[in-house]
Every structure is written in structure tokens, then in C-alpha cells.
Amino acid sequence: MQRFLAPVFFLCLALTGSVSIGNSQNSAPADSIQNAAEDSLRLHQKEVQAMLQEQFHEMTRFPLGTRIESWSHLLDMEVTRGNVSRVQRFWFTPKEDRAMIWLPDSSRSDECLFFDPETDRLASIFPSNLNGTLIPQAMAIKMGLKGNATQTASKRESNWKTEPSDSLLILSMNDGETNIEVVLGKKSSWQAHGVTAWLSMQPVPGFSLPPQASKQPILSFEQTNRDGIVLYRFRVVNIEQLENPFTLDLSSIRVDDPTRPLTVIAKEWAEKNKANQQKETQDKSED
């Protein structure tokens, strides 16, 4: 910072001298010079503040990961809870348990949720500007964003009943408190995997799905209470294989961790700065 402040300091000295000379001749030019000096100083202060803020952000941010993730398929799902409906977008790769990424509300922004089961990290990220924030474990669990215990029931344990239908397979289950009805599509293991993977990351209690859901995708799902009021509903809007996979370089996404103390961040920055200085000194000595 000293190398920035020094020029301004000498500039102010020079201007002060000019003002003292000008006062003996004409006060108007002196006032003009003084105002120019103040404007220049304020501008410089803003530049320094912006520089320090950027340095602070660089100190607090770190890469989301080291891998390049890609997803080959896309699922759009309309979800209704509490009379509010929104469309979510979920990217996945069939038959692979890897990091997951989805848009909780595709109509509002490009803010995605990203979950990596290997590191157990959940983050809110903006792929468009390559930044984001880690969501603390306690908050993620409280909000139900770390996944649920949804699974496909075995045929022996299944309580699902088949409902009459001319075409699609309709199944229902009643546990005394709620009634669930699902509509299954034609056999497609990769579609079934995508729907189940998406449902397992929703902020709802885990569901025991019908055995057929392992090979036939759920096209619609509706849970109602004893009074017939809809508690939770979703339906598939679109599901497809992408021509070009959605790819994300985790090393390019820089995230903040709200749980990291500033003292730790400052210590890490000091150690990094010291290491850089030692490297510069060594390089100069070798030259």
C-alpha cells in the first residue's frame, strides 16, 4: 500500500506549495487546485479500497475441487409444495454415482446447488461467473439439502397396489396418514435412475418407491393427506440425453467458506506470501 500512498503524499505536498503561492495572487485558482487535489485523493482511496477488497476475496476463496465433472443427461421436473410450483433442472449420468448439480428454480437465476459425495461438500454456485459459497453442514442438514433415504422397495416388502388403467402403470400406497399415487412410464433404466437420483436430493422425507421404479421411470408422483390436500407433487416435464455433455471444471469455481475464521485465512495468506517471497529471492540468486 505504501507504494500507492507515496505518490499521493508528494502530490499533496506539491499542491500545498502551489496553494500557498497562489493565495498571495488569486484565491480562485487556489480553490480550484485544492478541489482537484481532494478529488484525486478520494479517487485514489476508492481504488485502494477496491484493491484491498479484491485481495480479501482472493484470500477467502478457494477452488471447489480439482476434477472436471460432466453430465450426459438432463431432467426438468415440475415440483409443487404448499400451492407453489416451480420447475427444477437436474443433470445426471445414468448408472454413475457422482457429484450432482441442479437448479432449484430454473425460472429465477442460474444459481445451482452442487453436491459432491466424495468430499461431502454442498455448495451454492453460479457457473456463469465462476463463484459460489459452501453451505455449512448444520445448515444443509436443517434445510434438508444433504439428501434423503429414498430407495426402491423389494417385491417382498412392497405395500404398493396396482390401480386400474388402460395404458400407463398406476400404483398407490396408503400408510393411514397419507396416500401416494405414482404413474410409471415405459421401461427405461436410465430414465428411472435419473428420476430416483433427483428425488433422493430433494428436501423431503425419504420415500419407499415401488419395485417397478428401478426400471420404469416415475412420470408423476402425488402425496395427499386424509383430507385429500396435496402435500407434495412432481411430474416429469422433460428428460433427454444431451448432444454435448454439461461440463464443469471445479478448479475454476472459487467458493467462500463461511465457517473459516478470519484468523485462519490471514495465517494461510501470510504463509503463502512468505513462500512466494522466498521463491522470488531464490530465483534472483540463481540468475
pLDDT at residue 264, rounded to an integer? 66
Query: What pLDDT digit, counting tens, does each position of 190-207 carry?
Result: 999 999 999 999 999 899
Same domain, 218 and 120: yes
**Nearest-angstrom CA–CA distance, 89 and 107:** 10
CB of 102 within 8 A of CB of 201?
Answer: yes
Which of the two residues, 178 and 17, has the higher pLDDT score? 178
Same domain, 56 and 89: no
pLDDT at residue 235, rounded to an integer? 98
Last-in-domain residue among 61, 76, 91: 61
Length of the chain: 287
In this structure, what CATH number is given to the domain that contains residue 228?
2.50.20
Of 148, 218, 221, 164, nearest to 186 by C-alpha is 218
Is the pLDDT confidence value at 18 over 60? no
Same domain, 49 and 106: no
pLDDT at residue 62, rounded to an integer? 87
pLDDT at residue 42, rounded to an integer? 79
Query: What pLDDT digit, counting tens, does each position of 251-261 carry?
Result: 999 999 888 76
Same domain, 144 and 44: no
Structural domain includes residue 21? yes
The predicted model scores a pTM of: 0.72
Number of neighbouring beta carbons within 10 Å of residue 195: 26
The range of the structural domain enclosing residue 51 comes to 1-61
Q: What single-letter amino acid sits at 211?
A: P
Same domain, 94 and 57: no
> Between the CA atoms of 138, 141, 143 and 116, what dihedral angle is there, to the nearest 10 degrees?
100
**Nearest-angstrom CA–CA distance, 88 and 76:** 6
- Of the listed ranges 93-97, 111-115, 155-159, 265-269, the one predicted with least confidence: 265-269
Structural domain includes residue 239? yes
Cβ partners under 8 Å of residue 210, min gap 6:
152, 153, 158, 160, 171, 173, 182, 184
Same domain, 1 and 90: no
Same domain, 154 and 242: yes
Structural domain includes residue 240? yes
pLDDT band at 9 (very low <50, low <70, confident <90, very high): very low
Same domain, 57 and 109: no
What 3-state DSSP class applies to 157? coil
Last-in-domain residue among 15, 41, 61: 61
Same domain, 41 and 119: no
Question: In Å, how far are 15, 44, 45 from 30, measured between CA atoms?
Answer: 9, 21, 23
Determine the average pLDDT of the residues in 241-248.
96
Query: What pLDDT digit, counting tens, does each position of 97-111 carry?
Result: 889 999 999 887 789
Structural domain includes residue 123? yes
Same domain, 38 and 75: no
Same domain, 146 and 226: yes
Structural domain includes residue 267? no
Same domain, 109 and 177: yes
Number of domains forming the structure of the chain = 2
